[in-house]
Chain A
């Protein structure tokens, strides 16, 4: 049985794994060569995070599974990433709107996690804060460009926010594992107001009207995913699954 701490760490690892895999899809597909490089950079940082969490999970695991066992040999029902991370990359506006939501969140989340009683988690969080700050500057800047650029970019940005809107709630939902880890896990609910304020502030500055109709999709932490995760994992895990036990 996975302990609450292992479950908690794996959830964080899966969030980053799946998001990084998505961002990687932009490689050679960006709107400019500069942006290709920048998105790849973010994908690398986030993959780095996933690996730190998986490696810690490996230390915690009684079965001594490795980071690759976790990433490459768990099925879609075992992956517990929050749904927002697995959504397809969409157009550039969708990718940047998601980054904006998540970078705002990560900034708050990692600064809270850096005070965790668990030293390893606090250490990982401390490493992530700085880069996550860069990511946030970048994504906020893109939101400004898209909102104030052309009619088309504004329209696409609003459509993206609308598509993402119902997935934000899950970021602030406390899981059972988390509720058992007081002082170790971040209390997500505490971050919600600040996050919402930050989103509201920039939106107001840019005359972005946030969706008035709310909706609520959830299930990632229970392994209840969208239909998008399966094909992604099938592709990602194909070699590891074809050659069980092989070294690469």
Chain B
């Protein structure tokens, strides 16, 4: 870089930082530091992949939903998630990366998706638990991201949040029904809570002091609240909901702390978190395999679409 170029870049950086400080949105055409762009691509594509991979554990119960109403609601819900994925991929593409590149990065495990989807949905109650806890945690996170500094991401979050509360409600409703039902149904609900509680808390990521990306993301206002703050908010809002259901949260340290005005809760097993995120969860391999298989099996369809488009364009010109 020449001295002049250096000075220009310095100026651009100052303008960028002034915008961030003033809570203005950064838009796709604006200059941004490469690390800001890379950080956004990482976070947004991970978010998009999570929407799409999450279709698998929930889709696992589409064929077996217990009645037609539930089947319809679940189908609509999973369809919403696909829409979120699409919307987020488009928003991420404004940063100069294609959907294909993002998907390849996921297949090669260079890009992640929410690690919680590496757990299986074993019973119908798991569908309730996912809506209640996983969508519930996602909402807490996404509400804070409505204020994120990147314009397209912020707008995506505002749009997506509107649908998420329906997702959480349908999950919670499933559990209400189970808890009003037979002993067996209630046990099914408790078992689901036992398995999904801790992974839901892990969804917010490592403690702030241990999170590699957190500090920087906060500085650029990509993230607006810390992992631990968001996790606390989720616990505080979810505990009364569990009480209403008559279910017990699997944490013997869970207690109201009047001084803090928050619930205290036990230590998260971070070894478990690391284990699963690094490929040792029950379904890691299956999730990627499934996604790749659908892609491979659909390759001839996409080729046909492309060939057809070219022929049509040719006919229009001729």
Contacts and interface: CB of A to CB of B under 8 A. Distances in A.
A33 B88 CA distance: 12
Contacts of B285: none
B294 A51 contact: no
A178 interface: no
B75 A152 contact: no
Interface in A207-245: 235-236, 238-240, 243
A82 B165 CA distance: 39
B300 A71 contact: no
- Main secondary structure on B side of the interface with A: helix
10 contacts: A27-B78, A28-B55, A28-B82, A32-B301, A36-B82, A40-B82, A92-B298, A150-B300, A153-B301, A246-B182
A120 interface: no
Interface in B297-318: 297-308, 311
Interface residues of B, number: 47
Contacts of B301: 31-32, 35, 92, 153
B284 interface: no
Contact of A28 (B89, B174, B290, B299): B290
Contacts of A28: 52, 55-56, 59, 78, 82, 290, 294
A34 B71 CA distance: 21
B177 A248 contact: yes
Contacts of A41: 79
Contacts of B268: none
Contacts of B177: 247-248
B80 to A, nearest CB: 9
A205 to B, nearest CB: 13
Contacts of B182: 243, 246
Nearest to A154: B304
B257 interface: no
Interface residues of A, number: 47
A67 interface: yes
Given A48-B72, A150-B303, A68 B52 contact: no
B177 to A, nearest CB: 5
- Main secondary structure on A side of the interface with B: helix
A33 B86 contact: yes
B303 A152 contact: yes
Interface in B70-84: 70-72, 75-76, 78-79, 82-83
A240 B67 contact: yes
A88 interface: no
A54 B305 contact: no
Interface string A49-63: 011001000000000
